[in-house]
Each structure stands twice: as structure tokens, then as C-alpha cells.
């Protein structure tokens, strides 16, 4: 008997294990930035891998595997926000929870420094993404979810209204407040520091 016959062949990893090895960190980071809770991000990545495994025969390789997996994850995130919004009040975000950032004429009460740099380049910087993620955690959950669905995921306002059961005016009010508070937080923690220069 040859020695090679006694050695068992190494077991090749399943597609899901290979995807987890190759893309797990990117998928987790993508989910965590949007849902802001590690256990939820982990669950969404797991659901994504299971859905990809179930639909792997439909993957035509017209896009990269990571792009395909992130597309599945995006749908899982939208579903997560849709489900989590069903149990919440659909009233507009309470004015008492939003600091009054503007004067009677609609101008900023505190001067905001001009932001420099290309937004796409900023998003490639890990330090900026960390500050942005921290600023997002300071937003009320529903406002942060609405902001990410609209601005990061590109979900149309009409779809947000239908899926989340809110009016267009409510969506625009929450988006305005999210942008205002993010601008204030990023001004203090990035653009107003040496890191933002």
C-alpha cells in the first residue's frame, strides 16, 4: 500500500466557508456600519451566506463574488429595518430630542467651517469611517436607519414611505435632522480637528 493511499484527502471548504474566509470581514464591516450592533451584523452576515448558498446556482459571475454577496446583504439590511420599524411609532422624531441648531432665519447658530476634500476619498479613509460610525451611533435608531436606507442604500423616498409606513414629510423631516446632527458631529470630531485637514 502506498503512503499516499493512507493519507486522507484534505476536505475542501464549503462555498459558504470560502465566502466567509474571503469576504466575511468586508460583509461584517458593511453590516455593522449600517445596523450599529455587532450581534445584528453577525446575524445578517449569516443570513446572507445562507441565502447565497441557497441561490448559488443563480450567480452568473457577471459581477464579483463580493459585489454579489453585498447585494444580498443590502436586501437583508433593508428587511431588518423594515421588520424593526413595524413595532415602533411612526410619528415624526420628537423635536425635544433634536437640538435647535438654526436661528429664526434658518442659519446655523454656530458657524460651521467649510468642509474640504472629496467625499468619496474620505470614505476610503478608515479614520473617517470610524468617526462617521461614531456619529451615527449618536443619532436615534429610527433616524439613523432612515438616513442609511435613503443615503447609503439609495432606497427611494416613495419606497421608504410604503415599506416603513411613514409620510413623505416625515421622511424628509427625519433626513433633515439626521444630516444636521451628522454635520454637527463631523464638524466637531473630524473637520474641526487636525485629522480632517
CATH number for the domain spanning 151: value is 1.10.10.10
The pLDDT score that the predictor gives to residue 156 is: 87
All residue ranges of the chain with pLDDT < 70 are: 1-11, 60-62, 85-120, 123, 193-197
Among residues 133, 132, 134, 161, which one has the least CA distance to residue 146? Answer: 161
All three cell numbers of 101, joined, read 441648531
Same domain, 111 and 63: no
Among residues 12, 16, 14, which one has the least CA distance to residue 51? Answer: 16
Residue 6 within a domain? no
| Distance, CA of 136 to chain centre | 10
The pLDDT score that the predictor gives to residue 117 is: 66
The pLDDT score that the predictor gives to residue 44 is: 92
Residues in contact with 27: Cβ distance below 8 Å, sequence separation at least 6, in sequence order: 45, 48, 69, 70, 73
Same domain, 104 and 173: yes
Same domain, 107 and 56: no
Residues in contact with 93: Cβ distance below 8 Å, sequence separation at least 6, in sequence order: 140, 142, 143, 173, 174, 177
Residue 34 within a domain? yes
Same domain, 135 and 183: yes
| Distance, CA of 90 to chain centre | 21
Residue 19 within a domain? yes
The pLDDT score that the predictor gives to residue 39 is: 92
What's the CA gap between 31 and 181, in Å, rounded?
Answer: 22
Same domain, 79 and 99: no
Same domain, 78 and 105: no
Same domain, 59 and 31: yes
Using a cut of 0.85, tell me whether the model's pTM lies above it.
no
The pLDDT score that the predictor gives to residue 95 is: 42
Residue 5 within a domain? no
Residue 139 within a domain? yes
What's the CA gap between 72 and 180, in Å, rounded?
Answer: 31
Q: How many residues does the chain have?
A: 197
All three cell numbers of 140, joined, read 436615534
Same domain, 183 and 117: yes
Looking at the structure of the chain, the number of domains it has is 2
Domain that holds residue 33: 13-86
The pLDDT score that the predictor gives to residue 10 is: 60
DSSP annotation of 108 reads B
Residue 1 within a domain? no
Amino acid at each position: 500500500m502506498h503512503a499516499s493511499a493512507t493519507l486522507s484527502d484534505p476536505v475542501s471548504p464549503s462555498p459558504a466557508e470560502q465566502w466567509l474566509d474571503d469576504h466575511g470581514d468586508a460583509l461584517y464591516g458593511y453590516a455593522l456600519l449600517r445596523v450599529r450592533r455587532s450581534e445584528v451584523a453577525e446575524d445578517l452576515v449569516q443570513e446572507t451566506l445562507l441565502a447565497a448558498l441557497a441561490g448559488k446556482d443563480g450567480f452568473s459571475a457577471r459581477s464579483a463574488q463580493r459585489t454579489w454577496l453585498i447585494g444580498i446583504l443590502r436586501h437583508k439590511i433593508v428587511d431588518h429595518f423594515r421588520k424593526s420599524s413595524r413595532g415602533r411609532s411612526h410619528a415624526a422624531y420628537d423635536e425635544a430630542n433634536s437640538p435647535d441648531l438654526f436661528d429664526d432665519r434658518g442659519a446655523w447658530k454656530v458657524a460651521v467651517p467649510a468642509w474640504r476634500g472629496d467625499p468619496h476619498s474620505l470614505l476610503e479613509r478608515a479614520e473617517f469611517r470610524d468617526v462617521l460610525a461614531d456619529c451615527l451611533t449618536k443619532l436615534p435608531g429610527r433616524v439613523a436607519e432612515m438616513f442609511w436606507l435613503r443615503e447609503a442604500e439609495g432606497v427611494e423616498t416613495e419606497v421608504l414611505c410604503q415599506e416603513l409606513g411613514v409620510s413623505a414629510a416625515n421622511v424628509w423631516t427625519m433626513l433633515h435632522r439626521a444630516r444636521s446632527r451628522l454635520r454637527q458631529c463631523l464638524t466637531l470630531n473630524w473637520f474641526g480637528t487636525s485629522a480632517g485637514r
